[in-house]
Amino acid sequence: MRHRFLLPGLLCSAIALYPGGSTARADFTNPQVLSIPLTQTNWDPTTTGLQSVNPFQIVKFDPVLNGQNGQNAVLTSVQLKLDYEFDNTPSIRFDNASTITVVTTGSMKLTLPDNQTSLVVSPTFTNSASQTATPSDVFSKFVTLPTYQKIGAVSATISDPTTLSQFIGTGGAKIGLPVFATARSTFDSSSGNGFGSARTEGSARITVIYSFALVPEPSSVVLMGLGLTGVAAAAYRRSRFGVKKSASA
């Protein structure tokens, strides 16, 4: 009775090896980490002095290098983490004014090479600072306010096939991911005249981790299935022969 289920059982085992027998893996041991130093905003891939680091040059996932023991490596997701920092330092000039307020907003984003499709976007930061004049400040005097610092991180996991295909390549091929940092400042004077400036700098660091699955090559699955089928058939024949021999005895 046990031999009767041997053939289907072995066949099911062979079928289960592809793709249900795939092994999920993530390259946590070798993440790609690239950074852009504090640079005055606004900046983007065309900013002078940043062309060597922006866009981030990420090495694509190589199915050949990541395949193991006759198994193909299939990219399943890309994990992206954007660490960002904004430093904002306002300077205000009082010119017969009592109170001046500066409001600065800004954000950062990482896109695909088309410069349009966002992959990771930081929350918008807002910095508001005010300075009230004393009698000695009223006429033509600059005041530099304390630096406001915003530090944060935002993550995203990419898994749609169309986007993943852009991260796949061989021979050390790379994909360039542009980063954009923007900031805007407005000033308001309660009375008299006043003006100022706000120096805002931004820095970025990107961490990229590939997650992939190892699946048997189709040819290996077929050969294994044929081999298991042969074993099952031989066992089945031996079983039938043994039963007939016993019956004749």
CA dist., res. 87 & res. 149, Å (int): 5
Burial of residue 11, with CB atoms counted within 10 A of its CB: 0-12 exposed, 13-18 middle, 19 or more buried: middle
Q: How many CB atoms lie within 10 A of CB 210?
A: 26
pLDDT band at 146 (very low <50, low <70, confident <90, very high): very high
Look at 91-100, 144-153, 177-186 and tell me which has the smallest mean pLDDT: 91-100
Higher per-residue confidence, 191 vs 83: 83
β-bridge mates for residue 105, sequence order: 126, 184
Q: Supply the pLDDT for residue 142.
A: 86
CA dist., res. 75 & res. 32, Å (int): 16
Please state whether beta strands 174-177 and 56-59 pair in parallel, antiparallel, or not at all (unpaired): antiparallel
E-strand ranges in 42-140 read: 56-59, 71-95, 99-111, 118-121, 125-132
Higher per-residue confidence, 216 vs 38: 38
Contact yes or no for 67/214 (Cβ under 8 A): yes
Higher per-residue confidence, 97 vs 118: 118
Contact yes or no for 97/195 (Cβ under 8 A): no
β-bridge mates for residue 108, sequence order: 181
Mean pLDDT of 152-176: 96
Q: Which residues contact 223 (CB under 8 A, 6 or more apart)?
A: none
Please report, as a single letter, which amino acid is at residue 224.
M
Q: Is the pLDDT of residue 227 over 60?
A: no
Mean pLDDT of 124-133: 92
180-208 confidence digits (pLDDT tens):
999 999 998 887 778 888 999 999 999 99
Determine the straight-line distance between the first and last CA of the chain, rounded to whole angstroms: 20
pTM of the predicted model over 0.85: no
What is the overall mean pLDDT for the chain? 82
